[in-house]
Amino acid sequence: MFELPEFPRWAVEVVFVAYAIAATGIVVLERRHPSATFAWVLALIFVPVFGLLAYWTIGRQPVRTHRRRRRRRQLNAGEAMRQMANLHNLPPELSGPQRGLVQLALRTAAAPLRRADRVDLVAAGASAWDSLSTDIRRAEHSIHLEFYTWRDDTSGRRMIDLLIERARSGVRVRVLYDHLGSLMTPARHFAPLVEAGGRVERFAPLRAPWLRRPRANFRNHRKIVALDWQVGYVGGLNIADEYLGTDARGSRWEDLFARIEGDAVLGLQGIFLEDWYEVTGETIEIPKEARPAWRHGDPPAYTLQESSGALVQIIPSGPDVTVASAIASQFTAAIACSHQRCWLATPYFIPDEPLKLTLRTAALRGVDVRILLPRQGDVRLVALASRTYHDSLLEAGCRIFEYPEMLHSKYLVVDDSLAAIGSANMDVRSFYLNYEVTAMFYDDKVNDQLATLFRSNLEHCEQVSREALSQRKPIQRISESVARVLSPLL
């Protein structure tokens, strides 16, 4: 019988010390956020088998590319606007802090400032399905859909049937979904759409090449609908029953889409085309009829000032963008500019140090800081880690409210004329790892709509108190503390 050779204890110890030094050196040289570095070092040293497997599959830093720069030059839309725009030509209704935020998004994400002729808030449920299906039926040229989760359920099948109908009528239908986020959805779900002439692609498929080029940790979490270059949606909804109908338990998640009409849709289209190019290598040219006036010689200031629609920047972020934390920078800067109120809603709340400090500082300055979270999220570990941040925020004067159902909305309301809606959660994963997109509106009407929604949600909430937190059982405190240590890896 074959027996494994016995190694002297000193040899095992030397090998382990060498492994610990090498693992620590590799992680430290990647220059991650300090908390993430510390968490990975602990995982690699104290649980070496699991830690090494997790690091190999989801932990390694991506190789940054210039893919988006190349794509922007080909589209010549966002990059051209970034080069032409300057603070002297921006609309006069922008305040000084807003001009700074516009400049920040231009420099970190090449996000041009555009007008939206119309902006509507669309809540999850039947109203979301009615709005989406109506606009999709009206599309005459192209239908571009990009989602993190697409389920093989009633809503998913209804959407496929609708897209089949549009594809057969000659509309160019393109669907992009994240493979990990839709892992349980079989390929046969999309097969009838492909047979009808539609195109369906997976972002970062999990297969053998992924082992050599690991990307499981860098997911496409964006939710984008772009129709005929004229109508677009951005927000937190996915294609699944809990968003577009009711799930098996007869309930739905609280979520939100911003429906946009006008020139601002070009920003959503541009992001979709970049992601499509990443997956397929296919370049899709912007139709002449969809190009804004400034492409033909009119300065961008003229286009912006002649329209009365809401000013908006479509801001992307992701691990291959020049500034991966573009959305995190925008949120932190916006909160830092607040004077009267800062209201935010998010399903997952694991703030990095800059965001936590900015929220505390805003509350200490006298700003009305309110944070809306679900009472019990769908990811238990994240919910536990989230609660460990409550004490310091409450101590500074922030107010935290818990929604009784699953709240999946992601939006921000600052003062009276600044608002943001998108796919990014207020956590380290969305800020530094995922591909995300957020629409930032410099408009009092959109701000008022979101503020009204926030107040409506608060009517069903329970406010978190410091007294209740102090009465938590020891086992709960320990569980939350362990989850917090792991939070940089979540």
Polymer length of the chain: 490
Amino acid at site 473: K
Please report the beta strands in 263-318, taking only residues with DSSP state E, as ranges in sequence order. 310-317
Tokens for 326, please give them.
């573009």
Report DSSP letters for 364-412, one per residue.
Answer: HTT-EEEEEEESS-SSHHHHHHHHTTHHHHHHHT-EEEEESS-B---EE
| Tokens encoding 448 | 């008022």
- Catalytic, 410? Answer yes
Q: How far apart are CA 433 and CA 386, in angstroms?
A: 18
Per annotation, catalytic residue among 356, 390, 410, 427: 410
Give the count of alpha carbons within 13 A of 116, CB side only: 27
Helix then strand count (H, E) for the chain reads 21, 18
The token pair at 309 is 């629609």
Burial of residue 288, with CB atoms counted within 10 A of its CB: 0-12 exposed, 13-18 middle, 19 or more buried: exposed
DSSP 133: H
Active-site entry in 144, 223, 356, 390: 223
Instruction: Tell me the Ramachandran region of residue 101: left when phi exceeds 0, alpha when psi lies from -120 to 50, beta otherwise.
Output: alpha
Query: Catalytic: 141?
Result: no
- Which of 276, 271, 252 has its CA nearest to residue 317? 271
Which of 135, 241, 415, 427 is catalytic? The answer is: 415
Pairing state between β 399-403 and 368-374: parallel
User: Residue 434 carries which side chain, given as an amino acid letter?
Assistant: N
The burial class, CB within 10 Å (0-12 / 13-18 / 19+), for 28 is middle
Which of 221, 255, 427, 443 is the catalytic position? 221
Asked about 445 being catalytic, the answer comes back as no
Q: Which residues contact 94 (CB under 8 A, 6 or more apart)?
A: 102, 311, 442
To the query of whether residue 223 is one of the catalytic residues in this protein, the response is yes
Could you give the residue numbers annotated as active site?
Answer: 221, 223, 228, 408, 410, 415
